[in-house]
Chain A
């Protein structure tokens, strides 16, 4: 399959600081490719270089077979871009904005068709400031499709949306995928990346730390299960020790999401060993911990991320 994007040895420096530090990856035609990473990992900078908004310091970027340094205008005509937090003219209607944007491209889709696609057909004569956050986010995605692009780049398309609006956008992205449009997106949400993307790149400190399909990324890591438990009083040293019998406890934290009033919550991450879950449960029983709540989850991308970057993904 030919490549929609090819990035090789990409570096972007601001003075001494390398925002993007020797990044390489490919995106195949027709795939949904996700870039995950904490804030400041270099995701947006990487995208802006691909979009032609910033020149790279060094490295090679090819989009739809063309060199971004030499044929930026040609590339821009064939891709659709949704910027992080970009708004539109306040005094034009949605239809007028789409007509205006369309006038910049050789090829364009009818505004009403696009508005219908994102469920805004009845708002064609509204202005952007009359839309809800979810609606305006969907509108920016519609606007990125105005030129019937072969490649769409979405920078955090679902950040700040309520679950309902997020699901609407997921449907829209699936719809694009069905139309054989290549989609590159960045996100903070693991379930989103797991659900939508065929392949993922995880970025941290300007570097790509892993690229693979979500399931392969998950099977690659050390953690197999996450056990969350809530007790009625703090664990004693002996109890903690009992939980770690057999060395299967990889990490134990006070659950960062717990309320202080909710009691004592712990998160155990268990390593890749068929016995580790049994041993942990055994430890709980033997040490006489009185449980208020117990939750056992198989590893998710969240764990992958934590293991690779040492950071929680959400900010």
Chain B
């Protein structure tokens, strides 16, 4: 079996075209996102925690939601939890509306000469909790917030008096968009190469009767497939190393997590995608068909599993579908480890999902596989 694995690796090295593309395609994407200031693509996540829960505070939340730059996420359960979310980088901004907010406003009052009222409102300033390092971006959000508060206080911009917005800066592990995409690209590169190359490979072997030729030798046929899988896993690890290496050393991505903890995710994910490749090879009659079917599976998965953008913005049930795809837990786990320093034990949910996919795809692959 060692001889087979070595032979497989030799073939991969010699089959420069395929192997080159396995590395090159994700690297092009890395370069695209690295060379442009990709952070401008990213939208900020904002959540509002309404501790006042009165007419004025509700009005503030509504007007924030309507503001063009802001899309409100679900509010955290408590201020503490919100702070933690900001620290972990799950949330860019937390708008904390204190219990005393709007205490001076009278419910149902009409337009009033509101100078005093405005002063009263400002007694309980709103806190903007953020880990955003770029000043202009937090200024932007703070200004949106100020304008919204002004609307509540009858559109009278308070020219004097204390600021109604206090900015609270936290040390957040919020990663730049490039770093987020980089880990997505690791998952994507491994996924598309594993699916397409194994599907093409095996259907090619079947067309050339190589599988049959192996069956007439005393070799236990599982060893043939095991060697194929081992060689693909070696390539997947090299792929991940090259993509991460270029991202970190050329484009200055910052990874805080341990690469060793990413390894099991990469291997588990690769196994799932290799299984999918085996299943496709059973359905496809020619290598060209296998390649096409592999693309049909891998391209939508690449977009829907959150390689480039968060899938929570998708309509209807699609976010759930997207999260169920095998690439989604793989990328999520890689990001948790790489960007937030999580250990492999903390991403057990994603591991469990991938494990489930592995079992399911293995069962299907064994059922549908054919030798000739």
Contact = CB atoms under 8 A, between A and B. Distances in A.
A and B form one complex:
yes
Interface of A: 51-53, 73-74, 76-77, 79, 81, 83-92, 96, 99-101, 103-106
24 contacts: A73-B218, A73-B220, A74-B218, A76-B217, A76-B218, A79-B216, A83-B209, A84-B209, A86-B209, A86-B210, A87-B208, A87-B209, A89-B7, A89-B210, A91-B14, A92-B7, A92-B10, A92-B11, A100-B4, A100-B7, A101-B217, A103-B4, A104-B219, A105-B218
Nearest to B213: A86
B10 to A, nearest CB: 7
A79 B11 CA distance: 27
B241 interface: no
A100 B209 CA distance: 16
Given A74-B218, A85-B209, 11 more contacts: A52-B216, A81-B213, A81-B216, A83-B216, A84-B209, A86-B212, A88-B210, A89-B11, A91-B10, A92-B10, A100-B3
B15 interface: yes
Given A99-B3, A103-B3, A104-B218, A83 B212 contact: yes
Interface of B: 3-4, 7, 10-11, 14-15, 208-210, 212-213, 215-220
A88 B208 contact: yes
Contacts of A79: 216
Given A87-B210, A89-B210, A96 B10 contact: yes
Contacts of A84: 209
Q: Chain A interface secondary structure, helix, strand, loop or mixed?
A: loop
Contacts, number: 61
B224 to A, nearest CB: 9
Give the 5 A-B residue pairs with the shortest CB-CB distance, closest first: A86-B209, A87-B208, A91-B11, A103-B3, A104-B219
A91 B209 CA distance: 16
A84 B372 CA distance: 13
A69 B166 CA distance: 82
Contacts of A99: 3
Nearest to A103: B3
A91 B213 CA distance: 17
B217 A105 contact: yes
A66 to B, nearest CB: 13
Contacts of B14: 91-92
Contacts of A74: 218
A51 B217 contact: no
Contacts of A106: 218
B202 to A, nearest CB: 13
A157 to B, nearest CB: 15
A92 to B, nearest CB: 6
Given A100-B4, A104-B219, A53 B212 contact: yes
A7 to B, nearest CB: 17
A105 to B, nearest CB: 6
A84 B208 CA distance: 10
Contacts of B218: 73-74, 76-77, 104-106
A213 B220 CA distance: 38
A79 B3 CA distance: 21
A52 B216 CA distance: 7
A288 B112 CA distance: 133
A90 B208 CA distance: 10
A96 B215 CA distance: 19
Contacts of A85: 209
A86 B208 contact: yes
B230 to A, nearest CB: 15
Contacts of B215: 52-53
A197 to B, nearest CB: 22
B269 to A, nearest CB: 26
